[in-house]
Chain A
């Protein structure tokens, strides 16, 4: 009863004051979007041509007149984090994400084993479309895998990129398929007779031994073995791609406009990191996951996947003028076109300086990489709404993606040693560029928790050496009660940076004062001396401990309302 009164009081206070206060309540860590639906929603048809035309031309124009700049993301919990959902699961920080975890990705133990007996990979389907040819194998006990080759002109790159990127997306919290590079002896394959494939133009032909030989011939080879990427068939019923804006009308769980989901907005930084310029809706997939995994009918919910990462790490197009722009500009970039026209080309663009020195990774490098300026092949409606806070959220995740984890992810690409070294160092440099940009404007203090004496956090900018790791420039300001008033300066506890802890003296309250009473409300601002905005922690002084109930990361240091 007392806590209800306290909740009521805080809500009332919130109604009267400026910013509403956080009630004494546990943060939401899991979203409610996995309620079972009685049947699968309809399959969505993703229009290839319209998607490009819409987001390159029509959508930006209409959104300009809509005067609707991005506000805060809609699914952010009290701790400035994203709760687990059918879209995203907090893995970095929440699980013991080590090199082995990253290398395993979503594959678990179900990976193709090239040591199986001859003829045990049964080809049951040709690959209809796509830049890279392939086929599907059905392996008893393991399931179905789509095997794809590299583009003829880019041996090794795409197969490795698909495997590495799927692990990076998975480790950072997204649903991604199990894609793995496999080297195998063609004797493992057994072709089911009577197969056909139909391309985008509607042309159908037999997928026979001759067609299979052509696919295998096109693939990269090492020591007489064929190199392909094996993508494990996703469990559940495929429903087609998800859109990066709006919601799926026939899915009651899908209630937040996708362009306002923080994990989709923040995915822009991973796409920038890996130069996944092809991060459009066609490279995503909704899957209806049934409550009974092996059932063909029955209730379930929609899970959202990101897939097809073969463009990462320097994919090139036939036209070099496009290739050198990928990641720097959209294929048709009206903004740059206008700027370059009115400035008579006085600005030298990064794609003019681009040099194809990355070996198998072509133009992929850390040179001229500006995370904020990164662009996909055409605008992604969620990416363009990424706010500073969304970017900082993703940067905090990437700060936990250590050099060791990068190396572990890259190793699954099975590149030649020199290429592997190049990719590791390039990815580390690009990640650092992201951290420099997005850990510098709002507070990079993370892993925040209240304890008996006060509050502790870790400065990710210091920990990642984005800024010097010294302890002198932290400042803290504590406000209490109703209305919030300054209290004596808190004392910093002696802990080694990048950790920072604050001792906040407890106030004395009447024993009958409810735990959630406004008088117990404490707001702490901590600046790290580099970011202009503080970490603003909202706590309740419970006498024997401080409970953390909310975190904000304003862009400037101002007295809380």
Chain B
């Protein structure tokens, strides 16, 4: 401890010396290029200027109090930054950078981004877009992010629009992360039961989507999903240790992972149609099936296979112009194994994350079914940013809603900003809170803070 103090003292002494030297140098430089003496100002109003008011004289008090903040913002941040950026502009560095990042006028570019989701590793990355690369009529997208060799993610997407309203998408994502969380299954999973695991996953699919009647669409997708679960070296309790010690039963599929073919269909019917109004009703139904690609003979036990359904009914009410929107939606999810297969635990219905009960981290609540009621209000705060207030109740339950009981619902509240410039990447700053079940007192016991570009395509 003493050593640390000594080091800090030494560092601060060196810091002071460096500051004094820098100031002396700056003063010398200033003297060396001394500006010509300014003219003597005339007595503009013949009386030496109007008298200073008592209120202005009194400003010295807050001025002295805020002097340190002023010194930092003016002399440590603004002026050095200004000098650096100006020098860079003079040397045409921004143009060079722009030319490097923006190959064409507007249809090709690379944009850096970051994401900080407290409780997970942060990440930084690049989002790239290139419309009509090589030939006309398609959109190429790339999103790569990392936080060291153990946190890597890359997505490549290609979109075509062969006919009005029809969009074909080919996309592939490979992700390696060491910081996934697991809290156990069921509505009572406790916050303090959190353990970590790592996973390598590959997701690739082709999708066709047909938009009709304004905001309604029909979507079909088929592809591949493969996941290998592994231990995590994240500084937290580990799932593998919890399983070994018997504190948690081993989640289905954790030992072997899975490789599965995926098929998905989704339909959304929206009463708002082409009208500008934001008021209306929307019904959405999703069905997904996954079947293991590992043959039963090769497998050591049952193989992965599931079917999952989600139904959502939402009502929207546009309060005023310019996107003030109030909505209420009810969503239910259900997963069933295919025959004697098992459902990998990461394919179980989940709540938490960006869409449902966003006061909880993604995957915080998992089980065979889920139910959530969400009220949302969004309003414009800037050209490309809207405020978002989301409140909801819900939870996960057992097989086919076994044990469904409203008193087991949890509450969630989140407030923040959300960008709406691109369908590929959503800028978000959000603070959220989640509670224990109402039955156990609804104590506020989880908080979520997320800042950055949240999602790819």
Contacts and interface: CB of A to CB of B under 8 A. Distances in A.
A352 B322 CA distance: 6
A58 B82 CA distance: 9
A75 B39 CA distance: 14
Interface stretch (B92-100, B272-280, B301-309, B447-455): B92-100
A341 B43 CA distance: 48
Contacts of B383: 319, 321-322, 325, 331
Interface stretch (A30-38, A100-108, A399-407, A479-487): A30-38
Nearest to B30: A249
Given A45-B86, A45-B90, A77-B45, A69 B39 contact: no
A65 B417 CA distance: 27
B89 A78 contact: no
Given A66-B63, A71-B56, A352-B321, A21 B379 contact: no
Contacts of B56: 69, 71
Contacts of B324: 345
A53 B85 contact: yes
B66 interface: yes
Interface stretch (A168-176, A251-259, A416-424): A251-259
A15 to B, nearest CB: 10
Given A45-B90, A78-B45, A352-B320, A345 B38 contact: no
A48 B38 contact: no
A14 B42 contact: no
Given A58-B77, A202-B95, A255 B379 contact: no
B42 A72 contact: no
Given A76-B45, A345-B324, A18 B63 contact: no
Tell me whether chain A's interface is mostly helix, strand or loop, or mixed: loop
Nearest to B52: A71
Contact of B70 (A66, A200, A255): A66
A325 B385 CA distance: 14
A54 B49 contact: no
B360 interface: no
A145 B316 CA distance: 58
Interface string A332-349: 110011001100110011
B381 interface: yes
Contacts of A549: 46
Contacts of A45: 86, 89-90
Nearest to A253: B39
B357 to A, nearest CB: 21
A67 B66 contact: yes
Among B46, B50, B77: residue with most chain A CB under 10 A:
B46
A349 B322 CA distance: 10
B38 A69 contact: no
A364 interface: no
Nearest to B86: A47
A466 to B, nearest CB: 26
A62 interface: yes
A23 B47 contact: yes
A291 interface: no
Contact of B37 (A78, A252, A340): A252
Given A50-B85, A65-B66, A58 B73 contact: yes
B180 interface: no
Chain A residues touching B, range: 35 or more
Contact of A75 (B44, B46, B380): B44
Given A58-B78, A59-B78, A321-B383, A65 B46 contact: no
Interface in B34-91: 35-39, 41-52, 56, 59, 62-63, 66-67, 69-70, 73-74, 77-78, 81-82, 85-86, 89-90
A332 B73 CA distance: 19
B174 interface: no
A544 interface: no
Contacts of B382: 332-333, 336-337, 340
Contact of A47 (B49, B85, B389): B85
B9 to A, nearest CB: 28
A31 B389 CA distance: 58
Nearest to A254: B38
Contacts of A331: 383
Contact of A247 (B38, B45, B322): B38
B382 to A, nearest CB: 5
B421 to A, nearest CB: 10
A65 B45 contact: no
Nearest to A17: B51
Contact of A341 (B49, B70, B387): B387
A83 interface: yes
Contacts of A340: 379-382, 387
Nearest to A202: B95
Nearest to B81: A58
B41 A255 contact: yes
Nearest to B38: A255
Interface in B1-44: 35-39, 41-44
Contact of A77 (B44, B62, B85): B44
B47 A550 contact: yes
Among B45, B74, B86, B381: residue with most chain A CB under 10 A:
B45
Contact of A50 (B36, B70, B86, B387): B86
A554 to B, nearest CB: 10
B46 A78 contact: yes
B183 interface: no
A142 interface: no
Interface of A: 14, 18-23, 25, 27-28, 31-33, 35, 45, 47-50, 53-54, 58-59, 61-62, 65-69, 71-72, 74-78, 83, 200-202, 247, 249-256, 319, 321-322, 325, 331-333, 336-337, 340-341, 344-345, 348-349, 352-353, 549-550, 552
8 contacts: A20-B51, A62-B74, A65-B70, A67-B62, A247-B38, A340-B381, A341-B387, A345-B380
The list of the 4 closest CB pairs from A to B, nearest first, reads A345-B379, A65-B70, A249-B35, A255-B38
